[in-house]
Chains A and B, each alone.
Chain A
Amino acid sequence: MRESLERVWEMVRKEFLQIFREPRLRRMIFVAPIIQLVVFGYAVSTDIRQTSTFVVDHDRTSASRELMDAFVASGYFRVVGRSDRPADLVSALDHGDAIVGVEIPRGFATALRDGSGAHVQILLDGTNSNTATVAKGYAERIVQSYAAQVSPVPVQAPIDLRERAWYNPDLASRNYNVPAVVGAIILLVCLLLTSLAIVREREIGTLEQLMVSPLTPGELIAGKTIPFAIIGLVDLAVVTTVALVWFEVPFEGSVFLLVVASILFLLSGLGVGLFISTISNTQQEAFMSSFLIFQPTMLLSGFMFPVSSMPDLFQWLTLLNPLRHYLEIVRGIFLKGAGLADLWSQYLALLVMGSVILWFASTRFRKRIG
């Protein structure tokens, strides 16, 4: 037993030496998390700010100007052009110079004063459906609250709707995206690096040398996967630290539970990485296979696209995706402070899937080298 542990330890040491000697691998380990954090912290944002807006004001009164001031003051809209010809608005939307158009008809101020009901036309470029949906909601809300302010008779809506957003009161998409980067990084490290590391040995023929050494196949698998599990956990620490310190994402839950979930998730990731190594003869093939598995795993995990909007069939499919369960845990722990009572089914799913995948991959791996 002790000798076995020693052999695995030597193997892990050798593996680390190799990883840090190869500049390309070093880059992948350290640069990939940084790029992903920058992209998902900054570029990938579904928030609406400063949406380019074109104004056609036929009324030209202080009331119509006040309304537009309310749009700008909200911070959601930015006026990029004004005109009194509707044709200019059409052209601005066609060219993509503006995404929102506001048309205030003549008689707006009068209708507002005598209470006969004023109208405002809001035109939206729907090509980006998400921006348009959100901008439409904000624009309508701004018009309503402006109306309530200026109406001569006190307006009291019959229903007083109070909204509260829990867990993320500012509704910042960053808080949702940044913690999830952990999942993407761990998956990438496991799939790509594990399979590349094994296939490289096969390519240069050192795998045979390892097989004639006293290492048992189980020790070989352990020695090959443990280094990447450690790298995955280091990446977890890096991403979590950056998320908390730089992006100021709230962390409500337990660190211990997060680490446990990550270890369970690593089982699946390393299993798939090991599996890829058994079906690839060259590093090039391993890279392509990793990519072809990584891509749908990400798309069908709820990482960027909500699972609840998928068709039922695909929602069922995502239950077989370990990343889906892991992301639910990560986001639950970061934002909701959820505990084992809320997340036990996800933990169970990760444990079961991880064991099955790892067992299946090891069996194939043993057969392949045996």
Chain B
Amino acid sequence: MTGIILLVLVLVLVLWMIGAYNALIGLKNQVANGWKQIDVQLKRRHDLIPNLVNTVKGAMDFERSTLEAVISARNKAISATGVRQTAQAEGELTQALGRLFALTEAYPDLKATGNVAQLQEELTSTENKIGFARQLYNDVATQYNTRQATFPTMLVAGLAKASPAELWQITDDTERAVPAVDLSTNKPAP
């Protein structure tokens, strides 16, 4: 009798372990997928920037420093690896782009050509998608981290080779800051 009870208990335990293990692996894959989603959008953003720079280059020749800031931020973002470094570099790129867009407001002719407006819409949309993909990634990553750190799933965390996923933090000094642009003068700052 006790043998049967013991057998049932072991069976229940094994079944639970399989379930918990699979749930963790599922979440792990979702986190990886979430990161891939961000990556796709980041790549698209990096591809769009040279187009934009080429289009506005002629009209905004004397804003060279702003354009160069965008290009160097882009190159830095492309070579960034890991969640923290990528987040940092992309934040700087966002800021540089914000500056550029704020400056294009001062050139009505440039906006009227349509090409710039279209590029701006594409970049805006890509930035939004990055934002939403980040939202999704952070949600799933938080879920994954909580699950593997709480009892009883933590017991199988080692088995599933689960390690905490890094969240995509918005650093206050980069993305939250409003780009300071002075539109009163068209001359570059000395």
Q: Do A and B come from one complex?
A: no
Which B residues lie at the A interface, using CB under 8 A?
Answer: none
